[in-house]
């Protein structure tokens, strides 16, 4: 089930060199999470920090020229303008500057491990980033604020008529937009030609064929495992890569089970105690054989092929 979901989010990106790179679209849940984090950061810095500053100033300088009662009207007005401009530029600048940066992601997106990219392998441009962020306003914030205002109006017993439903419908339309297309694009993504993808983070794993029984004899028993043609022709690439993953990650108990399965399949008598060495040797020799076939253009996808 999980694998099938991953499949549905897999896309291919063609680089200018003609190389097809697999990319994964970001799940909608992480995008929502990223947005919530971002909005929380903005709201916090727009509301909490000025409030805190005001409190500190009020408290510290009770009878100084900086106390609120003593501040000139013009100074207060100037500060008010600064606050409005600060809010405006924070609101738009936060997304713009960060998404144009080398990571292509806001703080929230970075935390959940996603970034924006141009659809279909084109270059991401400043215009695209601006377009997708301007549309965010009408998608989410404009209807939310209107709904909030309507709520206040309705509380004061003024009639708001059908407008409430209209705004709710608008809000839901854009909120659910990503569910109605294959690439889970929101309206801003469509207009800007962008999509949101997962940021890959894979470390280079160890080389398996330089250690232990892959090279020679087992450390435990000193036995040198050698497999013949018949024993190596049973499995294909899929099984090989499963075995590789298990050798890298799995605990000894799981390896023991695999060891037993393989022994039965190739007709050996499964012993005990030296499972890892056996699997390392089998992995190295199976891979050697499959890669030799590969060089001659013969692929064996799995054991049924």
Which of these, 290, 284, 285, lies nearest to 211 by C-alpha position?
284
Neighbours of 61 (CB within 10 A): 13
Interface with another protein, residue 196, by CB under 8 A = no
Tell me the two tokens of residue 36: 């919530």
Contact between 277 and another protein per CB under 8 A: no
Closest separation between CB of residue 272 and another protein, Å?
26
28 binds another protein (CB under 8 A): no
Give the separation between CA 286 and CA 234, rounded to whole angstroms: 9
Task: Choose the binding region for another protein from 107-115, 160-168, 218-226, 259-267 (rule: CB under 8 A).
Answer: 107-115
Query: Which lies closer to another protein via its Cβ, residue 13 or residue 67?
Result: 13
Toward another protein, which CB reaches closer, 20 or 272?
A: 20
Q: Identify which range of 60-68, 219-227, 243-251, 266-274 contacts another protein by CB under 8 A.
A: 243-251
Residue 37 Cα to chain centre, angstroms: 14
- Are 20 and 13 in contact, with CB atoms under 8 Å apart? yes
Task: Identify residues 42-71 at the interface with another protein (CB under 8 A).
Answer: none
Under rule CB under 8 A, residue 12 binds another protein? no
- Strands (DSSP E) contained in the chain are 10-14, 20-24, 114-118, 194-198
How near is the Cβ of 5 to another protein at its closest, in Å?
14
**17, 63, 229, 269: which one binds another protein (CB under 8 A):** 17
Identify which range of 58-66, 97-105, 160-168, 217-225 contacts another protein by CB under 8 A. Answer: 97-105
Looking at the Cβ atoms of 50 and 260, the one nearer to another protein is: 50
Instruction: Pick between residue 137 and residue 260 the one whose CB is nearest to another protein.
Output: 137
CB of 157 to another protein, least distance (A): 17
Distance CA 13, CA 63 (A): 65
Q: Of 146-185, which residues contact another protein (CB under 8 A)?
A: none
Q: Applying CB under 8 A, does 123 fall inside the site for another protein?
A: yes
- Answer yes or no whether residue 191 interacts with another protein by CB under 8 A: yes
How many residues sit close enough to another protein to count as binding (CB under 8 A)? 77
Q: Which stretch binds another protein (CB under 8 A): 25-33, 111-119, 217-225, 260-268?
A: 111-119
CA distance 150 to 163: 8
Of the residues 46, 130, 153, 175, which one makes contact with another protein according to CB under 8 A:
130
Q: Are 115 and 194 in contact (CB under 8 A)?
A: no
Those residues with Cβ within 8 angstroms of residue 137's Cβ, 6 or more apart along the chain or in another chain: none
**In 44-125, alpha helices (H):** 49-60, 73-100, 107-112
Please state whether 20 falls in left (phi above 0), alpha (psi between -120 and 50) or beta: beta
Residue 78 within binding range of another protein, rule CB under 8 A: yes
Residue identified by tokens 């703080």 is: 107
**Using the rule CB under 8 A, which residue among 53, 56, 66, 88 binds another protein?**
88
Query: Coil, strand, or helix at residue 248?
Result: helix
Q: Which stretch binds another protein (CB under 8 A): 59-67, 131-139, 251-259, 262-270?
A: 131-139
Report the distance separating Cα 114 and Cα 35, nearest Å. Answer: 11
């Amino acid at each position: 089930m999980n694998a099938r979901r991953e499949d549905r989010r897999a896309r291919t990106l063609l680089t200018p060199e003609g190389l097809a790179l697999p990319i994964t679209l970001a799940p909608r849940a992480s995008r929502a999470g990223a947005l919530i984090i971002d909005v929380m950061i903005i709201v916090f810095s727009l509301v909490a920090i000025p409030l805190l500053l005001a409190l500190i100033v009020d408290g510290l300088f009770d009878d100084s020229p900086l106390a609120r009662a003593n501040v000139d009207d013009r100074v207060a007005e100037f500060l008010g303008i600064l606050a409005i401009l600060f809010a405006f530029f924070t609101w738009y600048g936060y997304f713009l500057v960060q998404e144009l940066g080398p990571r292509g992601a806001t703080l929230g997106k970075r935390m959940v491990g996603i970034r924006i990219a141009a659809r279909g392998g084109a270059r991401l441009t400043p215009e695209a980033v601006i377009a997708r962020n301007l549309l965010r306003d009408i998608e989410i914030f404009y209807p939310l604020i209107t709904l909030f205002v309507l709520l206040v109006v309705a509380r004061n017993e003024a009639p708001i008529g059908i407008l409430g439903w209209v705004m709710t419908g608008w809000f839901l339309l854009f909120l659910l937009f990503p569910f109605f297309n294959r690439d889970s694009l929101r309206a801003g993504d469509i207009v800007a030609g962008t999509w949101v993808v997962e940021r890959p983070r894979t470390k280079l794993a160890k080389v398996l064929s330089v250690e232990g029984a892959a090279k020679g004899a087992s450390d435990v028993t000193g036995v040198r495992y050698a497999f013949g043609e018949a024993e190596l022709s049973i499995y294909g690439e899929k099984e090989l890569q499963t075995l590789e993953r298990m050798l890298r990650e799995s605990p000894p108990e799981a390896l023991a089970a695999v060891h037993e399965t393989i022994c039965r399949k190739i007709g050996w008598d499964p012993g005990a105690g030296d499972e890892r060495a056996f699997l390392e040797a089998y992995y190295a020799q199976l891979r050697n054989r499959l890669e030799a076939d590969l060089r001659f253009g013969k692929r064996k996808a799995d054991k049924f092929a």
